[in-house]
Amino acid sequence: MTALTIPGLDQAPTTHERLLSWVREVAELTTPDQVVWCDGSQQEWQRMTDRLVEAGTFTRLAKKPNSFYAASDPSDVARVEERTYICSAEEKDAGVTNNWMDPNEMKATMTELYRGCMRGRTMYVIPFCMGPLDAEPPKLGVEITDSEYVVVSMHIMTRMGAKVLERLGAAGDFVPALHSVGAPLEPGQQDVPWPCNDIKYITHFPEERMIWSFGSGYGGNALLGKKCYSLRIASAMARDEGWLAEHMLILKLISPEEKVYYVAAAFPSACGKTNLAMLQPTIPGWRVETLGDDIAWMRFGEDGRLYAVNPEAGFFGVAPGTNWNTNPNAMRTIEQGNSLFTNVALTDDADVWWEDMEGEPQHLTDWKGRDWTPDNGENAAHPNSRYCTPMSQCPILAPEWDDPKGVPISAILFGGRRKTTVPLVNEAFDWQHGVFMGATLSSEKTAAAAGKVGDVRRDPMAMLPFIGYNVGDYFQHWVNVGKSADAAKLPRIFYVNWFRRGEDKRFLWPGFGENSRVLKWIVDRLEGNAAAADTAIGRVPTADELDLGGLDTPKADVDEALKVDVEEWKAELPLIEEWFDTVGDSLPSSMRDELVALKQRLGH
């Protein structure tokens, strides 16, 4: 087939030459049956979802309007970090935490994979915008994909379609993002519900601001506006332009006096970002509104404060563990429908269910399509199963969520999942110490990425899988951001751990809505109204300094959750040392200085 005969290719609703020639080049390489330019309309959603139901990829839910269930191929359930590459021209610019390949070599390899890979399929062109469309400049991208699942997901997760093409104009800048599931169809060949390929590449060319993805249809591997653009490529843009692209939720905290504070918080995947973002405070008079649950772009405003914008328009949340107790606002968001559920379980009356959701279903279809009963011994939903739902449906969405100016951040929280050592809350002495806290952040591995769950790993700023360049340079960039600012206007930095356990493995802190007590202490710190002890690792409150009124947890447990155990921290030192040795030459000397200072404070 020659390019000229590919239907749709020449019906482009744009005169943008760079876009047109890229789309033509990709179509000629991948040889789809037709090209469709996505407009983002309701009719398009209807067409795509109908088609996916017909193909057996989607099951229409009976209990939630305009909502669908999808099960992936059992091999394609999470981000694949070992197949994720940063192809900078020089290897040192990718750094030790990224897989690297020479960009020309990678292009040669992937070009052969892409050759003919859309045969028998439709190639969709999705113009999208990360962040508000009226931002100056808007952060635009165009994803080419052969997956209808991706088109539907991008409808939820991004601003996309005709309005974006209009904003792009005839010569606007955009990030090209090429995606294929890598499963061409021969004439007459029956498709499978979840096409994908055993060979997977999730590739970034940070200098060219370009993304190539092959072989996976899943979430962060395939919805290229999310992790690939808004974190890996954007972090490289941010380094060059003096801002921060971070793996952070954004929340708005409103005090009983109606004073507003904006907080950004970085936790690794599946460590409760979404729950904190939508928190329902248990302490009277306090309210939380949500601005984002996964990604924050932060830049300095004219007043010298750091302002955050969420580039996304939807939530791609981990389903298991989400329920009316842990996250009622997420439940209210999905209940309104217009949502997509992947790898959860299906009830007999065509609703969704997952582990820890209310109800005791006696029979389900599990995420692998098998019969499930309570005595079955396996999870009905995959631990990394997801709901994908529009932010606009969140009942506590902050009205300013779509403001291109963003919101001024008063506090940055870092946190991970640690059974031991790390106290409930700990305030940094200053910005550089806070950067050290972020740089040494550690967490037990979750199901959000392939690999062994439970192992402790360093996850700097919760960005380990998402830093689009050299990790040491990234730390230096964080230090520089602090140096370039008026220190009094910088957000204060805190390190939290909701997951510390007692001797019998019980959680020492109840978490969820009770975390509002920690947020209140943080605000009291900002206002100069709360005390903290200077410990070796930072400023830590005693239980008396937290508002614990009405809390069921024994005070002794709270004491233990807050404890700074010098021996535990001495045992942590070699792990930090090992991590810094891994980072190697590019580690800023200021981070070594912080480690030396920590050792001295520990009397080591």
Q: Which stretch binds ligand PEP (CB under 6 A): 220-228, 307-315, 323-331, 533-541?
A: 220-228
Binding ligand PEP (rule: CB under 6 A), the pick from 319, 448, 546, 598 is: 448
- Site residues for ligand PEP, window 42-81 (CB under 6 A)? 78-79
Binding ligand PEP (rule: CB under 6 A), the pick from 119, 200, 227, 252 is: 227
Could you tell which of Mn ion, Na ion, ligand PEP, none binds residue 78, using a CB distance below 5 to 8 A set by kind?
ligand PEP
Q: Which stretch binds Na ion (CB under 5 A): 97-105, 183-191, 238-246, 249-257?
A: 97-105
What tokens appear for 426 in the block?
A: 């700990």
**b/e map of 399-411 (b: 16 or more CB within 10 Å)?**
eebbeeebbbbbb
User: Which residues are within 8 A (CB) of 90 and not within 5 positions of it... i.e. 6 or more apart?
Assistant: none
Q: Which residue has the tokens 């999208």?
A: 128
User: Should residue 226 be labelled a site residue for ligand PEP when binding is judged by CB under 6 A?
Assistant: yes
User: Should residue 269 be labelled a site residue for Mn ion when binding is judged by CB under 5 A?
Assistant: yes
Note the maximum CA span of the chain. 75
What tokens appear for 172 in the block?
A: 């606007």
Binding ligand PEP (rule: CB under 6 A), the pick from 57, 147, 269, 497 is: 269
Rounded to the nearest whole angstrom, what is the least distance from the CB of residue 294 to Mn ion in the complex?
Answer: 4
Q: Is 550 annotated as a binding residue?
A: no
Could you tell which of Mn ion, ligand PEP, Na ion, none binds residue 498, using a CB distance below 5 to 8 A set by kind?
none
Rounded to the nearest whole angstrom, what is the least distance from the CB of residue 77 to ligand PEP in the complex?
Answer: 9
Q: Is 480 annotated as a binding residue?
A: no
* Residue 196 contacts residue 216 (beta carbons within 8 Å): yes
E strands along 277-320, which residues? Answer: 287-292, 296-300, 306-309, 314-318
CB atoms within 10 A of CB 477: 21
E strands along 420-478, which residues? Answer: 425-427, 442-444, 456-458
The H or E element that residue 204 is part of is: strand 201-205
- Site residues for ligand PEP, window 308-367 (CB under 6 A)? 316
Rounded to the nearest whole angstrom, what is the least distance from the CB of residue 267 to Mn ion in the complex?
Answer: 9
Return the number of the residue (283 or 450) whose C-beta is nearest ligand PEP.
450
User: Should residue 310 be labelled a site residue for Mn ion when binding is judged by CB under 5 A?
Assistant: no
What tokens appear for 102 in the block?
A: 């020479």
User: Should residue 176 be labelled a site residue for ligand PEP when binding is judged by CB under 6 A?
Assistant: no
Could you tell which of ligand PEP, Na ion, Mn ion, none binds residue 226, using a CB distance below 5 to 8 A set by kind?
ligand PEP
The type of residue at 346 is: L
Binding ligand PEP (rule: CB under 6 A), the pick from 206, 220, 314, 320 is: 220
* Spatial distance between the Cα atoms of 219 and 205, rounded to a whole number of angstroms: 20
Task: Compute, in degrees rounded to 10, the torsion defined by CA atoms 286, 292, 295, 297.
Answer: -80
Q: Is 270 annotated as a binding residue?
A: yes
* Residue 129 contacts residue 161 (beta carbons within 8 Å): no
* Spatial distance between the Cα atoms of 556 and 542, rounded to a whole number of angstroms: 11
What tokens appear for 127 in the block?
A: 């113009």
Residue nearest to Na ion (CB): 100
Phi-psi region of 368 (alpha: psi -120 to 50; beta: other; left: phi over 0): alpha
Return the number of the residue (314 or 538) whose C-beta is nearest ligand PEP.
314
498: nearest Cα among 489, 513, 510, 516: 510
Catalytic residues: 271
Q: Is 38 annotated as a binding residue?
A: no
Give CA separation, 290 vs 246, 384, 395, in Å.
Answer: 17, 23, 9
Q: Is 225 annotated as a binding residue?
A: no
User: Should residue 463 be labelled a site residue for ligand PEP when binding is judged by CB under 6 A?
Assistant: no
Supply the DSSP symbol for 514: G
User: Should residue 294 be labelled a site residue for Mn ion when binding is judged by CB under 5 A?
Assistant: yes
Binding ligand PEP (rule: CB under 6 A), the pick from 182, 219, 383, 415 is: 219
- Site residues for Na ion, window 207-266 (CB under 5 A)? none
What is the binding site for Mn ion (CB under 5 A)?
A: 269, 294
Binding residues for Mn(2+): 227, 247, 294
What is the binding site for ligand PEP (CB under 6 A)?
A: 78-79, 219-220, 226-227, 269, 294, 316, 448
Binding residues: 79, 218-220, 227, 247, 269-275, 294, 384-386, 417, 512-515
What is the binding site for Na ion (CB under 5 A)?
A: 100
